Homo-oligomer: A and B are copies of this chain.
Amino acid sequence: MNSSSVSQHRYPHQNEPAWSKSEKAIARKAFDAALERELQEVIREAKQKAGQIKEPEDLWDLEHYLTQRRGEIDRKYDYRYSQLDLVFGRLLREKWIDEEDLRGLGEDKLRAIRSYAKFFAGTDPA
């Protein structure tokens, strides 16, 4: 089953193409890998920040950093099929995944994902 064969199956309440079983497996793997990479990066940064703590203020900076990163990650990693194009677009833009991780997704999805990646490139802080 490829994506075009299921493109006429719509979720009742949404307008995006359904995800085939093999696409779901690819998506799950890419999603989990990205999350793991990003969490490892937070661990690395947190250890570094902790190592540099000198003043009490640095402690609360670390707390703030962790709270912020947790919230950001919670919001970003939204595994709803209705959101996945956008999520992968962002992860692609932020280099937590590359196109290789997405190989096997239907062309319709890849197009949407690339388009979101471009959108996020435009919203990056200067």
Please list the residues of chain A having a beta carbon within 8 angstroms of any beta carbon in chain B.
Answer: 39, 42-43, 46-47, 49-51, 53, 56, 58-60, 62-63, 66-67, 70
Cβ 8 A contact of A53, one of B43, B59, B60 = B43
**CB <8 Å contact, B53 and A47:** yes
- Closest beta carbon of chain B to A65's beta carbon, Å: 9
CB-defined A-B contacts under 8 Å, sample of 25: A39-B56, A39-B59, A42-B56, A42-B59, A43-B53, A43-B58, A43-B59, A46-B50, A46-B59, A47-B50, A47-B51, A47-B53, A50-B51, A50-B62, A59-B66, A59-B70, A60-B66, A60-B70, A62-B62, A62-B66, A63-B63, A63-B67, A63-B70, A66-B66, A67-B67
**Copies of the chain in the assembly:** 2
Residues on B with C-beta less than 8 A from A53 are: 43, 46-47
What is the CA–CA distance of A25 and B8 in the complex, to the nearest angstrom? 79
